[in-house]
């Protein structure tokens, strides 16, 4: 019941998010030969070392190495980290806060169903809506890369490894958003707190000395690039990084669940 209702509420935005990811990806791949020519010029204008390093790899003399680096930036570092997180925030902020704002929360929590089940039903549907487009879009890369103007073979394995990690990272953002939604009086307040968190994390990511404490370090080019290049195995990524992100997500969800069981109307 609640899962169906949640699907009804988020499916439109989920479809828009999936289309947006595809719309960003398709021209990015098809224009690759032209883009590569301009990357050296763009690299010289990059103010931050971390971005310059990324461009160095995208302009590698080995065309395939450069293309794989470019894909990891376009699909995962830029696409999922920006559009995916935006979707998680937009969809997640209202999950509980909007019910409270519209005065429907009292109706919902007075039904013969536990608060934990209400939260879980809302969460898993939203998590699916956030995650499925990541897999769909990243899979699109494989046939798209075979167009004559590009013509590279991208392995399903590397795409899947990156997609799993990107999905876990996006779901982790969704759990933080869910926690804000449980605690906030309205969706605007919830969006403010999660927005402030994301902007703060993004800001410190670009500061050399303190980048290590930014959560975005767990899902940046230097995570996806080596996987796409075939230099990092699934086990190494999952045990080294993904597991910690997943544990963080689980802790956030458990906190949100505990808070929702205690929070007032």
Regarding 185 and contact with another protein (CB under 8 A), the answer is: no
Residues 6+ apart with CB under 8 A from 120: 257
Regarding 11 and contact with another protein (CB under 8 A), the answer is: no
Regarding 107 and contact with another protein (CB under 8 A), the answer is: yes
Question: Token pair of 94, please?
Answer: 């209202």
Gap between the Cα atoms of 246 and 253, Å rounded: 10
Regarding 16 and contact with another protein (CB under 8 A), the answer is: no
Q: Which of these ranges, 32-40, 79-87, 111-119, 205-213, lies near another protein under the rule CB under 8 A?
A: 111-119
**Toward another protein, which CB reaches closer, 74 or 181?**
181
Gap between the Cα atoms of 5 and 125, Å rounded: 10
**Secondary structure string (H, E, C) spanning 87-120:** HHHHHHHHHHHHHHHCCCHHHHHCCCCCHHHHHH
Angle value at C-alpha 154, between 151 and 156, nearest 5 degrees = 145
Alpha helices, DSSP H only, in the chain? 2-30, 32-45, 49-58, 63-71, 85-101, 105-109, 115-144, 156-183, 187-205, 221-228, 234-237, 243-262
Regarding 9 and contact with another protein (CB under 8 A), the answer is: yes
Q: Which of these ranges, 5-13, 75-83, 137-145, 158-166, lies near another protein under the rule CB under 8 A?
A: 5-13
Regarding 116 and contact with another protein (CB under 8 A), the answer is: no
Q: Which of these ranges, 34-42, 98-106, 123-131, 246-254, lies near another protein under the rule CB under 8 A?
A: 98-106
Regarding 111 and contact with another protein (CB under 8 A), the answer is: yes
With CB under 8 A as the contact rule, the residue among 47, 61, 62, 103 that binds another protein is: 103
Regarding 104 and contact with another protein (CB under 8 A), the answer is: yes
**Toward another protein, which CB reaches closer, 1 or 212?**
1
CB 129 within 8 A of CB 171: no
Gap between the Cα atoms of 84 and 10, Å rounded: 14
Regarding 112 and contact with another protein (CB under 8 A), the answer is: yes
Regarding 102 and contact with another protein (CB under 8 A), the answer is: yes
State the nearest-atom distance from the C-beta of 261 to another protein, in Å: 10
State the helix-helix crossing angle for 49-58 and 32-45, rounded to 10 degrees.
150
**Toward another protein, which CB reaches closer, 98 or 211?**
98
State the nearest-atom distance from the C-beta of 103 to another protein, in Å: 4
Contact residues for another protein, defined by CB under 8 A: 1, 4-5, 8-9, 102-107, 109-114, 264-265
């Amino acid at each position: 019941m609640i899962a169906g209702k949640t699907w009804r509420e988020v499916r439109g935005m989920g479809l828009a998010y999936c289309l947006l990811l595809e719309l960003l990806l398709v021209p990015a791949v098809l224009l690759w030969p032209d883009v590569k020519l301009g990357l050296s010029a763009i690299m010289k204008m990059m103010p931050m070392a971390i971005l310059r390093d990324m461009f160095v790899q995208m302009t590698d003399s080995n065309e395939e190495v450069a293309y794989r680096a470019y894909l990891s930036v376009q699909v995962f570092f830029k696409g999922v980290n920006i559009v995916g997180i935006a979707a998680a925030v937009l969809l997640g902020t209202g999950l509980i806060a909007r019910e409270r704002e519209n005065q429907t929360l009292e109706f919902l929590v007075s039904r013969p169903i536990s608060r934990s089940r209400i939260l879980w039903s809302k969460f898993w549907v939203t998590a699916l809506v956030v995650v499925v487009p990541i897999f769909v879009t990243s899979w699109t890369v494989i046939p798209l890369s075979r167009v004559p103007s590009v013509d590279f073979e991208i392995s399903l394995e590397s795409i899947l490894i990156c997609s799993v990690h990107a999905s876990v990272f996006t779901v982790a953002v969704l759990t933080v958003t869910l926690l804000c939604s449980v605690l906030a009086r309205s969706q605007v307040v919830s969006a403010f707190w999660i927005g402030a968190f994301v902007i703060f994390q993004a800001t410190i990511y670009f500061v050399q000395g303190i980048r290590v404490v930014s959560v975005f370090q767990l899902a940046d080019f230097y995570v996806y690039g080596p996987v796409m290049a075939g230099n990092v195995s699934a086990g190494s990524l999952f045990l080294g990084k993904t597991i910690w992100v997943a544990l963080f997500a689980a802790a956030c969800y458990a906190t949100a669940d505990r808070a929702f069981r205690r929070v007032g109307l």
